[in-house]
Amino acid sequence: MLKEELKAWPSFVTVWRLAGLLLLGWLLALWYFGEGIFWYFSLAAAALLPLMLAVYYARTEGAKSRQLKKVTEQLAGSRIFLKNIINYVPDPIFVKDRQHRWIEGNTAMWALFGKREEDLIGKSDYDFFPKEEADVFWRKDDEVFTSGQTNINIENFTDASGVTHIISTKKACFTGSAGEQILVGVIRDITELRRMEEKLKESDEARFNAIMNHVGRPVYIKDLEGRYTLVNKKFLELFARDGRSIIGKTDAELFAKEYAEKYRLNDLEVIEKAAALEFEETVAGKDGQHTYVSVKFPLYDANDKIYAICGISSDITERKKYEEKLKNAMEKLAKANSEMESFTYIASHDLRAPLVNLQGFAHELDSAIKLITPAALQGASAFPPEQKAAIDGVLNDDIPEALGFIRSSVHRMDMLTNAILELSRIGRRELNFEKINTEKLLKECLDVLQHKIRSQKITVNIGPLPEITADYVAVQQVFGNIIDNAIKYMRPDEAGEINISGRQENTEVVFEIADNGRGIDERDIGKIFEIFRRIGDNTGIEGEGMGMAYVKAILTRHNGHIWCQSTPGKGTTFFFTIAHNLSGNDA
């Protein structure tokens, strides 16, 4: 209301100017009209004019005085109100001018400093703090004044009693009513928090060290410059030779140059890729050179930045020795296989020539004996009866029998060399892995054996058969050999039965072929997969004892194996496996 009232009144200067103009007009009128009633009226008006001006002045100045008083009272009330608010804030608050002097603060501020308000207002940091602390405060204040950006800093300061505090100060720059720069800061004393963090860190480090020292492998932490900041007991046992200190050292100070350079390159790769990586590293230990597999991974700080790398190393020296031995053994095995292939070639080709000769000469001897026998017997008539009977026995019995033995042995030898050749072909033949409908394949095998199955009145039961990936011809040979053996060794006094099924397991397919034939003695089960081994009574049963050796070789190339369970007089069950997901690289 007062402000609006003052706006309605013209200023005193304007009124005084207007009064001056009126007075000049009255004087001109007096000079013109001279003495008379107007003269006396003008004297009265002239006497009243100063009085009216005085009253107007008093009225306007009084209004201004009342307004100023009210505004002053409002400002004082606002200041007290604001002061009360900031004094209730538990964190210290301060205000500085551009000259870094305190111009305002709250109760918590003075309490933190250990000073009275009147002792600090108008003073700067250099009046109370050590120079090294004041330099930091001044520099940080200048950064905010210059940039205008809010700034948060962790700082140390010493209070009046000499106690050093750790504070987090948030500072911001504002513009005052007169356009001046002022700095407002809020302080949080984090001394106790930092102490708790240190204790927690010490506790965590103690637990971490306890865990690390119980790990039977070297564990270590390096900073980004490659300096060791933490190592476990095992690391010290292996590498702290001659009492050398590890902490603060780099690999270049601890290990030979060729080793240290490799370790550093590995560390830098982990930092660059920000990922856990595995390396094979060699180091000279107390008892000679060792090989380690080291898993190294980055460590991150609270701002998600890499500040160090951690490594865990496993000694694989013995494993490397075994791998070297295995490599040598594989080379020897490859050489032996090569020699075996050469032998197989000789056995299946070079030995065939003498067999052909034996068979040819046996045939010639047989023809010659038949040619000379009549003449020899005729000439033998002149001999005594005993000699004649002996010559007759040699020509008609002994020599034909001997020639028969030669021919059968040659035939047997030929069958064995053919078997060896076939076995070698199984190992050399390139397999063609493809998806196979096992039911269709088995039907084709049974069609080939159908005459034997029907003639012996054997029942064949087929259960579920999963699809497989394998060489079609090879799997046909496996099924064909096992089923053919089951047919051969059926008991004549009981109706034969063969049950075939398959199932999928974790990494392979398992097939079962069970029969109710003669069975196999437990002592002979391990022999049935050996070459040229035939067990039990084989009278009247064809074969050279190679069928199951073929099967075993084929399944080995399919990453599978074969075994059997049998009870004499009740039957035998053969189990064999073929691996899942075979490819040309597995052959």
pLDDT at position 4:
47
Percent helix, strand and coil across the chain, each rounded to 5?
55, 20, 25
Q: Give the span between the Cα atoms of 231 and 236, in whole angstroms.
A: 7
Long-range CB pairs of 447-450, under 8 A, 24+ apart, other chains included = 448/480, 449/480, 449/483, 449/484, 449/487
Strand 459-462 relative to strand 497-504, pairing? parallel
pLDDT at position 2:
40
Contacts of 234 (CB under 8 A, 6+ apart): 213, 215, 216, 217, 218, 219
Q: Give the span between the Cα atoms of 1 and 428, in whole angstroms.
A: 115
Collapsing DSSP states into helix, strand and coil, what is residue 502? strand
pLDDT at position 19:
59
Torsion from C-alpha of 158, 160, 163, 169, nearest 10 degrees? -40
Q: Give, rounded to a whole angstrom, the gap between the first and last alpha carbons of the chain.
A: 106
Rg (CA), the chain: 58
- Residue 525 corresponds to which tokens in the numbers above? 């089960």
Contacts of 551 (CB under 8 A, 6+ apart): 477, 478, 481, 482, 529, 562, 576
Answer whether 123's CB lies under 8 Å from 101's CB: yes
Q: Is the dihedral of CA 57, 60, 64, 66 positive or negative?
A: positive
Environment class of 325 (CB within 10 Å of its CB; exposed 0-12, middle 13-18, buried 19+): exposed
Q: Give the span between the Cα atoms of 451 and 446, in whole angstroms.
A: 9
217: left (phi over 0), alpha (psi -120 to 50) or beta: beta
pLDDT at position 542:
56
pLDDT at position 378:
73
Q: Give the span between the Cα atoms of 394 and 365, in whole angstroms.
A: 13
pLDDT at position 498:
94
Q: Give the span between the Cα atoms of 452 and 441, in whole angstroms.
A: 18
* Residue whose token pair is 């270590």: 220
**DSSP string over 96-155:** EETTS-EEEE-HHHHHHHTS-HHHHTT--GGGTS-HHHHHHHHHHHHHHHHH---EEEEE
- Residue 562 corresponds to which tokens in the numbers above? 């074969």
- In 3D space, the residue among 520, 425, 510 whose CA is nearest the CA of residue 474 turns out to be 425
Q: Give the span between the Cα atoms of 332 and 564, in whole angstroms.
A: 31
pLDDT at position 459:
93
Answer whether 584's CB lies under 8 Å from 433's CB: yes
* Residue whose token pair is 């194996």: 561
0.75 surpassed by pTM: no
* Residue whose token pair is 């190339």: 557
Q: Give the span between the Cα atoms of 149 and 188, in whole angstroms.
A: 19
Residue 240 sits at φ, ψ, to 5 deg, of -85, 65
Residue 250 sits at φ, ψ, to 5 deg, of -105, 170
DSSP class of 283: E
pLDDT at position 9:
47
The tens place of each residue's pLDDT in the chain, 587 residues long, gives 444 444 444 554 555 555 555 556 655 655 555 555 555 555 555 555 565 655 555 556 555 566 656 655 555 555 565 666 677 777 888 888 999 898 888 888 888 878 888 888 888 888 888 888 888 889 888 998 888 888 888 888 777 777 888 888 889 998 877 788 888 888 888 888 778 777 766 665 667 667 777 777 889 999 999 999 888 888 888 887 655 688 899 999 888 898 999 999 999 999 999 999 999 998 876 677 889 999 999 999 877 899 999 999 988 888 888 888 888 877 776 666 666 666 666 666 666 667 677 777 777 777 777 777 777 777 767 777 777 777 777 777 777 777 777 776 776 666 666 656 665 565 555 678 889 999 999 998 888 888 888 888 999 999 999 999 998 888 888 898 899 888 888 888 888 999 999 999 888 999 999 999 888 888 777 777 766 555 555 554 555 556 787 788 888 888 888 898 988 888 999 999 998 776 644 55
